[in-house]
């Protein structure tokens, strides 16, 4: 056993949020313009430091409200992973972050607050482009969360969380197509989701106006998608 004792190092912990929604048919992520150093003026994911007796989930919820004015409400919120690279934050104190994926339908325009100078929705493809240059390691965090969302669409019922309380099968199919970046066979998709146990519950109502009425559904009690939804490769 070594006689040298290593001094403990102070570490700060943060929670970062990848908030996804579909706006105008485009998968979008919420970004904030940083109002403080480091990376003053750069775009980043909303997030902040763990405080007092908070859990990391508490921190994520608080930062969402403080930096954007949005409430978690009916958000789907799940942990993605922890990022602990020593050089991920340029500040003197080491900072480890835990990322969270949040999903909700057609969210409104956010309002900035706290240490964010501006908050806005950005197309995910644009935010992931190297030219976007997100602060810290947020490009990697975003990429990991988007891939987790895409995988969850195969095996769980989370796709319904992108939809309003009542939705058509066409609207659900468009969620898959938007998140995956593919085009799906309409009749095959219809058969799969209608036959999936507990995925959909018919409301008995139909759409009105705008063409042929379509049946409206709400999300069922199932959390797993059985069988899984095949995910085709993007063209």
Please check the confidence at residue 216 and state whether its pLDDT lies above 90.
Answer: yes
Please check the confidence at residue 223 and state whether its pLDDT lies above 60.
Answer: yes
3-class SS string, the chain? CCCCCCCCCCEEEEEEEEEEEEECCEEEEEEEEECCCCCCCCEECCEEECCCCCCHHHHHHHHHHHHHCCCCCCCEEEEEEEECCCCCCCCCCEEEEEEEEEECCCCCCCCCCCCEEEEEEEEHHHHHCHHHCCCCCHHHHHHHHHHHHHHHHHHECHHHHHCCCCECHHHHHHHHHHHHCCCCCHHHHHHHHHHCCCCEEEEEEECCCCCCCCEEEEECCCCECCCCCCCCCCC
Residue of 163 and 69 predicted with greater confidence? 163
pLDDT one-digit tens code per residue, 3-34: 567 777 789 999 999 999 999 999 999 999 98
**Mean pLDDT score, 70-82:** 84
Residue of 139 and 117 predicted with greater confidence? 139
pLDDT one-digit tens code per residue, 162-203: 999 999 999 999 999 999 999 999 999 999 999 999 999 999
Predicted confidence at residue 108, as pLDDT, reads 80
Predicted confidence at residue 116, as pLDDT, reads 64
Average pLDDT in the chain: 91
Predicted confidence at residue 115, as pLDDT, reads 61
């Amino acid at each position: 056993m070594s006689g040298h004792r290593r001094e403990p190092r102070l570490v700060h912990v943060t929670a970062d949020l990848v908030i996804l929604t579909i706006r105008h048919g485009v998968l979008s992520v919420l970004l904030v313009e940083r109002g403080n150093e480091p990376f003053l003026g750069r775009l980043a994911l909303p997030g902040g430091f763990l405080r007092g007796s908070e859990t990391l989930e508490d921190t994520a919820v608080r930062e969402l409200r403080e930096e954007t004015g949005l409430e978690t409400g009916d958000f789907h919120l799940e942990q993605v992973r922890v990022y602990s690279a020593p050089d991920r934050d340029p500040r003197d104190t080491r900072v480890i972050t835990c990322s969270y994926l949040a999903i909700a339908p057609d969210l409104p325009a956010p309002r900035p607050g706290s240490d964010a100078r501006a908050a806005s929705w950005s197309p995910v493809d644009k935010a992931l482009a190297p030219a976007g240059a997100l602060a810290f390691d947020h490009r990697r965090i975003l990429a990991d969360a988007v891939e987790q969302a895409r995988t969850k669409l195969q095996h769980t019922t989370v796709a319904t969380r992108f939809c309003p309380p009542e939705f058509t099968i066409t609207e659900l199919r468009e969620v898959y197509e938007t998140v995956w970046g593919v085009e799906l066979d309409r009749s095959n998709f219809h058969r799969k989701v209608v036959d999936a146990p507990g995925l959909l519950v018919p409301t008995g109502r139909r759409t009105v106006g705008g063409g042929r009425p379509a049946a409206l559904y709400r999300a069922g009690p199932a959390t797993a998608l059985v069988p899984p939804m095949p995910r085709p490769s993007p063209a």
